[in-house]
Amino acid sequence: MLVSRYSCGKPGAPEEPDVTNTRTESDTMGTIEVPADRYWGAQTQRSLQNFRIGGERMPRSILRALGVIKHASATTNQDLGKLDGNLADAIRSAAGQVIEGELDDHFPLVVWQTGSGTQSNMNANEVIANRAIELLGGEIGSKSPVHPNDHVNMSQSSNDVFPSAMAIATAEQTVRHLIPGLRHLRDALQEKADAWSDIVKIGRTHFMDAVPLTLGQEFSGYVQQVSYGIERAERTLPRLYELALGGTAVGTGINSHPDYADRVAAEIAQLTELPFVSAPNKFEALAAHDAQVELAGALNTIAVSLMKIGNDVRMLGSGPRAGLGELQLPANEPGSSIMPGKVNPTQSEALTMVCAQVMGNAVSVSVAGSTGHFELNVFKPVIAFNNLQSIQLLGDAAVSFTDNCIAGTEPNLQRIDELMRSSLMLVTALNQHIGYDNAAAIAKKAHADNSTLLEAGLALGLLTEEQFNEWVRPEDMTRP
């Protein structure tokens, strides 16, 4: 298994290439000067010059996935008798360095490039070829004895490589980053739900007082939301495990061995220890990215859930004196540059900002996924970038919110009881004894007179004190 780093984001800031010292590389368009201290070749250099857009570099997890594909392809092509063993060994060694992140400085391209991801595929081909040439004692840039297209890209097209890299990256990150983060949050919420199962508090609907429930019951709802989020993420995986490799240019498999698709998928499954398989229909795998749109939808739903939880927690912790104040949130840092002693619910704020970003990412993925014309979707890089960013943000935010907020949150028992006892909606317990209309009369009088429910009921002659104390028991109102 080749596993090292699982960061979804862009690689760390690269060292600047030495532009004063260059070598000449070539492609089908001619020659071009490339920094001598970099392994990339002509096509990468042209992309650098032609797409000076933004600063969002191709995510690290995509680079890793490209390395996995090139490593697995070298093995598969060797086993099928198409690639010399010595060349395959050198390609695998170079691809392994890509997988481990050792060559990140040689992947400078931004997301905003060709919609097929061709330039990033060629970036991988060129880097791996030149590194393999170096390992074999050859001259970097010579394309001999390892050629970026003929050997590193053998049996492949950018059109099936990049969607496969998208699938590998998003599947790995979902399994190894997102789901563990969500489980961490769910377990912490469950711990609070269990601990607070006997704390009776007032419920709220429409931002108004409602009937009582326990604080544990309230948090159990959050537990279920996150549990469903984990299930939603897991349900996307079977489609993400389907690889486009073997479809080559338009899905027909031209220039690949008939056994290549299944065998390279099996090799990738072995390298990643995830159950990748060859996509049953390569035309769909190249022309559409419905699996990625499905993933974006799951991520969006998870963001919606976490937005609700984050907002509830910060409102329940509002105050400390003029708000609800039912929860005491951890005081992690000063909250104001002008108001001394102020502490803010910053973890909830960070979490909800992440959720807003993820929701926006899902919109972009939906637009990109719906615009795959004919045999090839050409929005691949932005789909990959947005989904991987959403995965990373949600996984990170779930852990941060858990460790820096939920774990240290405690109930304010005095405030909870005070608010619960003062609520007019406790009158609901009287419905089955004196009827809805009489109960409503008590609530309205108590509100108008600023009196208690008992005082209002006695004044209206609708019950006795003994009856009120028997019928209105908040702890009995939290179950059927």
The residues assigned a catalytic role are: 206, 336
For residue 223, the tally of other CB atoms under 10 A from its CB is 21
Q: At what angle do helices 158-173 and 290-316 cross, to 10 degrees?
A: 30
Label residue 179 exposed, middle or buried (CB < 10 Å: 0-12, 13-18, 19+).
buried
Are residues 163 and 379 in contact, defined by beta-carbon separation less than 8 angstroms? Answer: no
Are residues 214 and 195 in contact, defined by beta-carbon separation less than 8 angstroms? Answer: no
Label residue 371 exposed, middle or buried (CB < 10 Å: 0-12, 13-18, 19+).
exposed
Give the number of residues written for the chain: 480
* Pairwise CA distance, residues 400 & 310, whole Å: 12
* Pairwise CA distance, residues 312 & 222, whole Å: 10
Encoded amino acid at 380, one letter: K
- CA 390 to centroid of chain Cα atoms: 4
- CA-based nearest residue to 279, from 163, 174, 379, 152: 163
Are residues 2 and 96 in contact, defined by beta-carbon separation less than 8 angstroms? Answer: yes
E-only strand ranges, 40-147 = none
175 DSSP assignment: I
- CA-based nearest residue to 353, from 299, 394, 295: 394
